[in-house]
Structure 1
Amino acid sequence: MSEQAADSGSIEARMAEAWRLQTGGETEAAMALYRAVLEAAGMAGHAGAQLGLGQCHMERGEAEQALHHLRLARELAPQSGAIAHLVDSLSGTTTERAPDDYLRWVFDGHAASFDRHLAALKYRGPWMIQALAKRAWQPDGRRTILDLGCGTGLNGPLFRPYARGIDGIDIAPAMLQQAAKRQYNGRPAYDRLAEMEIHTFLEQVPARVYDAMLSTDVFIYIGRLERFFAQAARVLSPGGEVLATIERGSPEEPVRLMPSGRYRQSDAYIAGLAAQHGFSIADTLEAPLRVEQGREEPGRAYRLVLGA
């Protein structure tokens, strides 16, 4: 084996271990390995190590240091939408939506430990929309349900009692592998799972196919929701419903990309789009979506009814 190949192998092994440490919450140890990779890479640099350091600084709430490393990563990998999105999020630039490669990178990289991570954050999204469903629905197994951005499938067992069928879609294949394992009363929680971007999927679906759509921690990565609402109004049956969560933004800003890499929408923005596309707001529930860096993230769940 050549010295160059050995060095490459060493760098790859260090990067893999640094990512394992980072996703396991061992930020200091991960940063030490990322710095070792940069030292080994020399003048050529290493976009992945700069990205890892940027993420670690983000997790520590050190925005200035994070932005420094992310900009260096962008110089080394200008084709990466994921890196560009993080730079935008920290520099105050609000874009239309998160790039596909960012979503795959974030969610595939955390798929195996995702449920534990959400539990540590006291994540409440699925249970917020389930609470809205319990107020209005009977567990009669009659609805055809589409779970948008289904992830590891947390919504599946919660909504199976209401469903004749549940389809799940997600852009991240490793997340879908976890969703496929999800059970309800000894049977798969989902009838069908598809790997696809949400808008692309909806635009291929015939009209009036679903009775309800679930959207937990999805709007926070879409950003601008005009395209979604137009397709939801077409795909849902008359009286169909959208159960969705948002991170609540400022009344002065309809949509804002936050330093977290997630979008916040205002209540007025959601209400305006709902009315424009024939939805009424049947019910809402306000609660923190998660606890991050000791702070509660303000959230709201909506039950939107088409044509009511």
Structure 2
Amino acid sequence: MLSILQLQQLATCDRYNPAAYLELCRALVASGQVEAAKTYFNRWQRIDPDNPVIGYQRSLLLDADHLSQLPLAYVVDEFDNFAESFDRTLEGLNYRVPSRFGELLCHWLGENKLDRVLDLGCGTGLCGLRARRHTRCLWGVDVSADMLTKSKRRGIYDHLVESEFHAFLEGCESRFNLILAGDSLIYVGDLRAVLGSAARVLMPDGLMLMSFEEAEDEVPFRLPTTLRFKHARSYIETVIHECGMRVEHVEPYAIRKEAGMPVPGLIVVARCAGASNSG
């Protein structure tokens, strides 16, 4: 690992080195030298004013405590780069959300087929694979074009849309019997807007299946260094209620492994308020 001094030398040499600037800013923030990091971010911005990486990395490093969602450019870049190795990597991390969603769908729906299902933040289609047997029409939405290319190859979606999912929900004129959000809401801190929009496009008696990384305390949400939001169970349940849905089921669930340890999470099933419980 290079020292801060070595990174400074690399960043300020005659040959422009954006990777050195990023690593230098990260190292300065990690060592508590926030003002120095701001200085180098400003210098980097002057050298390369059209580089979108600078803005969102600055937000992530200097304003993480105030972020209610991750910068869209960061999420797109992250998943475009991750698309080719996504399934293989998650398999190695014992990623279990899609399989648990499949079990819950069998429990709640049996052999019934729904008219329309929405896979929100569909990625490469891991949750969609489990939902296909339960629907006549499956929609997938994701911000990453490369992820959508992978999901298209599966041949399981009737409609695939490249969009930030809150923007999609806001403009959507279709209604859905079921919405899946498998590890997509961990990139959103404040859940009110997206869950409110999701409730709007759910049909009466519609279900929403969600996964979250669980916060260790009652702070509504926080963004740790993993850059995936953690949410408090009480906050999730409150927002679901505020958005016109009710909580049907909550279970603690190990989302995947990280550094060899299980990541504590929650699987949540919500239903439009006022509908009868058929589960």
Q: TM-score range by the shorter chain?
A: 0.7 to 0.9
CA, structure 1 residues 70+40, in 2 after alignment: closer, same or farther (shift >3 Å)? closer
Q: CA deviation at 1:245?
A: 0.2
User: Residue 19 of structure 2 is aligned with which of 48, 53, 56?
Assistant: 48
Residue 285 of structure 1 corresponds to: 251
> What is the alpha-carbon distance in structure 2 between the residues aligned to residue 303 and residue 45 of structure 1?
50
Structure 2 counterpart of 1:10: none
Q: Output the CA distance in 2 between the equivalents of 1:66 and 1:112.
A: 35
Alignment partner, residue 206 of structure 1: 173
3-state secondary structure, aligned to 1:268: helix
Cα distance in 2 for residues equivalent to 1:81 and 1:279: 36
Distance in 1 of aligned mates of 2:14 and 2:243: 54
Q: Deviations along 1:202-229, whole A, 9 cap, x unmatched?
A: 111126x111111011111011111012
The Cα of 1:306 is off from its aligned counterpart by: 0.6
Contact 1:165 1:190 in 2 (8 A): yes
- Aligned residue among 196, 199, 211 for 1:233: 199
Question: Contact 1:254/1:265 (CA < 8 Å) preserved in 2?
Answer: yes
- The question of whether the paired residues in 1 share the 8 Å contact of 2:249 and 2:270 is answered with yes
- The alignment's TM-score, normalised by the length of structure 1, stands at 0.76
In 2, the alpha carbon distance for the partners of 1:283 and 1:71 equals: 45
Taking a change above 3 Å as real, the CA distance of residues 181 and 276 of structure 1, as seen in their structure-2 partners, is same
Structure 2 distance, partners of 1:147, 1:211, is 11
Residue 266 in structure 1 maps to residue 232 in structure 2: yes
Residue 181 of structure 1: SS of its match in structure 2? helix
Aligned to 1:97: 69
Q: What are the within-5 Å matches in structure 2 for residues 295-306 of structure 1?
A: 295-306=261-272
Matched to 1:301, the amino acid is: I
- Are 1:217 and 2:183 counterparts? yes
- Counterpart amino acid of 2:135? A
Residues matched between the structures, number: 264
Contact 1:176 1:193 in 2 (8 A): yes
After superposition, the C-alpha distances for 1:106-155 in whole angstroms (9 at most, x for unaligned) are 10011111111111211122222222222211233324111111111111
- Contact conserved, 2:210 with 2:269, CA < 8 A, in 1? yes
Secondary structure at 2:263's aligned position in 1? strand
Q: Is the 8 A contact 2:10 2:17 kept in 1?
A: no
Equivalent AA in structure 2 for residue 295 of structure 1: M
Q: Residue by residue, what CA displacement relative to the aligned partner does 1:176-233 show, whole Å, maximum 9, x if unpaired?
A: 1101011xxxxx11111111111111111126x1111110111110111110121112
Query: Matches of 2:72 and 2:30 in 1, distance apart?
Result: 25
User: Distance in 2 between the 1:179 and 1:122 partners?
Assistant: 20
What TM-score, normalized by structure 2, do the two folds share?
0.83
Deviation at 1:52, TM superposition (A): 6.0
Structure-2 separation of matches of 1:226 and 1:40: 41
SS of the aligned residue for 2:269 comes to strand
